[in-house]
Chain A
Amino acid sequence: MEIEEMQTAWSEMSMKLEKQELLTNKLIMEMTQEKYRNKISIVSKYEGIGAIICFIAAIFLITKLNELDTWYLLASGVFVVVYLITIPTIVLRSIRKMRNLNITDNNYKQTLIDYANNRKQFLFIQRIGIYLNFLLMIVALPMFVKLSSNKDMFITNTNVWYWYLPIMTLFLIFFSRWGYKSYKNITASAEKTLKELE
């Protein structure tokens, strides 16, 4: 279809549309009401649920901190609590920023640039999160052993190292590779958009 043909078809459609009046006053004002909008989309459902789980886990761990009777177990517990509160908060803020673009004041070009930049930033945070999970896996272990079996794994012999570390490492490697691949693809798409606007 040549551009001229496109213009003709578009004009014909426009003329047909001009003759129709389907929106009523009531319908227009209904569409302006906040209550009709989907509020779930403000924060991604999955990240939102994940954050709630993390916050509940953090609250639970705070109530158990007194059971961690050595400085290193307490340090392990505090690290996990801080991690469970901080990382989801940063991710949620990043998502919120990405979704709250100023689409009413910006022009089309600026909206594209802002979205691509915010998306890159969001994915960078997610990537950092993936790497931090490895650290969490190691640091959290003494605390979990203590809370689940009341054993200090640095004093009492425990076989937890034999199964926990290999399984968790395999899981995290698989998860990180998948996450990194997605990160690369989406970032490349954002970069492409930015390059196109240069």
Chain B
Amino acid sequence: MHKEETFKKIIKEHEGVIYKITRVYTNTHDDQKDLYQEIVYQLWKSFDTFRGEAKVSTWIYRIALNTALFHLKKGKKQGHKVSIENLNLKQENYDPVLEDRLQLLYAHIRTLSDLERGIILLFLEGKKYEEIALITGLSTTNIGTRMSRIKQKLKKQIIKQ
């Protein structure tokens, strides 16, 4: 299959994943669109070096999380305008009750550190500790320890509320 066709197929299959990552790492719709473009660009840039040794999803999570982290660190706006104006990101807010719960969920995630944010996102995606370790570069044991800390942190937040 042609390179472009394969790439488009992969992106379409994982557009929801990219959406979720962009939502966790940004606060505004414009920033989210900006990050979405950057992730797709970085995936395309590294597509030639992706030889299928790792799972496609692992590759996508790794690149997307790194890009999100870097995007976050660069700070907000730097005279940056979203070039592709018709990039309509997925909207999951059809159900107002679910949207409220999601708002709360994102608020909780955003209180965590950069590293914890990546770990919890992968955990919520249903990844096993081994795969989280592979994507983040930490050991499996370390992931377990950090997950316990994250759970404690989240519990404390509930008590505060």
Contact = CB atoms under 8 A, between A and B. Distances in A.
Contacts of A99: 74
A20 B136 CA distance: 28
B136 to A, nearest CB: 4
Query: By DSSP majority rule, is chain A's interface helix, strand, loop, or mixed?
Result: helix
Contacts of B108: 1, 6
Given A22-B88, A104-B46, A109-B137, A41 B83 contact: no
Interface stretch (A110-118, A124-132, A157-165): A110-118
Given A37-B41, A108-B137, A103 B70 contact: yes
B41 A108 contact: no
Interface string B119-144: 00000110000000011111000000
B42 interface: yes
Contacts of B40: 28, 31-32
Contacts of A105: 46, 49
Contacts of A197: 115
A36 B78 contact: no
Interface stretch (A10-18, A51-59, A135-143, A146-154): A10-18
A28 B158 contact: no
B151 interface: yes
Interface in A143-196: 193, 196
Interface in A59-113: 99, 101, 103-112
A6 B20 CA distance: 14
Interface of B, helix, strand, loop or mixed by DSSP? helix
B84 A30 contact: yes
B104 interface: yes
A14 B84 contact: no
A34 to B, nearest CB: 8
B92 A110 contact: no
A195 to B, nearest CB: 11
A133 interface: no
A108 B62 contact: yes
Given A3-B154, A22-B15, A40-B79, 8 more contacts: A2-B155, A17-B16, A31-B87, A35-B83, A38-B79, A38-B81, A104-B46, A104-B49
Interface of B: 4, 7-8, 11-12, 15-16, 19-20, 36-38, 40-42, 44-46, 49, 62-63, 65-67, 69-70, 73-74, 78-81, 83-84, 86-90, 92, 94-95, 98, 101-102, 104-105, 108, 113-115, 118, 124-125, 134-138, 150-151, 154-155, 158
Interface of A: 1-3, 5-7, 9-10, 12-14, 16-18, 20-23, 25, 27-38, 40-41, 44-45, 99, 101, 103-112, 115, 193, 196-197
